[in-house]
């Protein structure tokens, strides 16, 4: 096998292809490593955010919050990142843009009104 790069030049193609394949494998390994590092950084960010949520909502210390995320993962068979994502999604669904105190007050007021309307008062003419 020969390769004609420039007129009159011949090179064996086998060694060139081997070098190209080695370089390609190195590039693939670097790409996998970059992808793994990106995933690790994303997981770390999710875990940090989930710990802050647990520390704020449940008044936990940082190590306690981390253990909580770990234990949830073990119980549910999910990764640390997935457990953290579930905590963050729950926080978002329950508390995003919601004034809990105002919502609670309006809910209690509605319940109170409903109870008042169902309580039967004796009629004056019945007495």
**Look-up: residue for tokens 């060139």?**
16
Do 13 and 1 form a contact (C-beta atoms < 8 A)?
yes
What is the band of 89 on the pLDDT scale with cuts at 50, 70, 90?
very high
- Threshold 0.75, pTM exceeds: no
What pLDDT does residue 68 have?
Answer: 95
Q: Is the dihedral of CA 10, 11, 14, 16 positive or negative?
A: negative
Query: Hey, which bits of 1-127 come out as E strands?
Result: 3-4, 10-11
What is the band of 48 on the pLDDT scale with cuts at 50, 70, 90?
very high
Tokens of 74: 């073990």
pLDDT exceeds 70 at position 122? no
Q: What's the mean pLDDT in 96-125?
A: 70
The average confidence (pLDDT) of the chain is 84
What pLDDT does residue 110 have?
Answer: 83
Residues in the chain: 127
Q: Which CATH architecture has domain 3-119?
A: Orthogonal Bundle (1.10)
């Amino acid at each position: 096998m020969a390769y004609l790069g420039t007129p009159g030049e011949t090179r064996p193609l086998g060694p060139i292809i081997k070098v190209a394949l080695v370089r390609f494998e190195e590039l693939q390994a670097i790409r996998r490593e970059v992808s793994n590092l990106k995933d690790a950084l994303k997981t770390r960010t999710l875990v940090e955010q989930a710990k802050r949520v647990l520390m704020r909502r449940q008044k936990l210390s940082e190590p306690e919050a981390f253990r909580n995320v770990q234990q949830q993962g073990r119980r549910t068979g999910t990764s640390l990142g997935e457990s953290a994502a579930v905590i963050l999604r729950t926080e978002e669904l329950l508390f995003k843009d919601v004034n809990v105190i105002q919502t609670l007050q309006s809910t209690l007021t509605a319940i109170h009104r409903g109870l008042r309307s169902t309580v039967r008062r004796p009629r004056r003419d019945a007495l």
